[in-house]
Amino acid sequence: MNIVTPPSSLTPAEASQQPRPSREEAEAAVRTLLRWAGDDVGREGLLDTPARVVRAYEEFFAGYQTDPVDLLARSFEETDGYDEMVVLRDIRLESHCEHHMVPIIGKAHVAYLPAGRVVGISKLARVVEVYAKRLQIQEKLTAQVANCIQDVLKPKGVAVVIEAAHQCMTTRGIHKPGVTMVTSRMLGAFRDDPSTRKEFLTMISGQRGTGFDG
């Protein structure tokens, strides 16, 4: 006779080895949460909610299905010697807090100093998107984006700044709307050369001088 261990008794390592639940199991889990919240899952307005939530989760967490390294695999050498900073500013960012599973909404600024090769700029934005569409904390997300670009492109330096609002503190808990969290990750020349770092921070601020100086 096969003995199935209840999910609640699994260690984190054991849980990670479990097969992915089916769509039907995922929808059943949503119904359980709706019942726990105190609503009637049989009423008209909620009949299709479990299926809608599962489809939404497929979109929210699509980043688990993509390897960000593959996005940067194709780069180009025909740059006519261009070796100045490449900056993408104000990349829209939508993620979810891994502690409360509520939205993190903000923007990312990404830069790198080419070392002979460049990559299509849309790929940089896609790297941000792939990591963002996973359960995250902002500090880890910032480091993941910077480390991936550094490891694959091997440029002279990488800089990533993320500014975002976390609904885990704006719509629940401490209830402090209007608060923005700012994180940064500087590698290579952006960490070692203050003038390079200042140039980047000035470019993303859109004006002379920035609160990031120092």
Are 120 and 150 in contact by the 8 Å Cβ rule? The answer is no
Q: Residue 125 is encoded by which pair of tokens?
A: 């934005």
From 94, 97, 163, 199, active-site residue: 97
From 18, 25, 58, 99, active-site residue: 99
The residue whose two tokens read 């006779």 is 1
For the question of residue 166 being annotated catalytic, the response is yes
Q: Which helix (H) or strand (E) holds 59?
A: helix 49-60
For the question of residue 175 being annotated catalytic, the response is no
From 94, 100, 163, 199, active-site residue: 100
How would you label 48-61 residue by residue, b for 16+ Cβ within 10 Å and e otherwise?
A: ebbeebbeeeeebe
From 96, 109, 148, 168, active-site residue: 168
Q: DSSP letters of 166-188?
A: EHHHHSSTT--TT--EEEEEEEE
Which has the closest alpha carbon to 59: 103, 119, 19, 20? 103
For the question of residue 168 being annotated catalytic, the response is yes
From 14, 25, 98, 139, active-site residue: 98
For the question of residue 100 being annotated catalytic, the response is yes
For the question of residue 98 being annotated catalytic, the response is yes
Q: Which helix (H) or strand (E) holds 14?
A: helix 12-16
From 138, 144, 148, 150, active-site residue: 138
Cβ atoms within 10 A of the Cβ of 135, count? 15
For the question of residue 109 being annotated catalytic, the response is no
DSSP state of 94: E
Active site residues: 97-100, 138, 166, 168
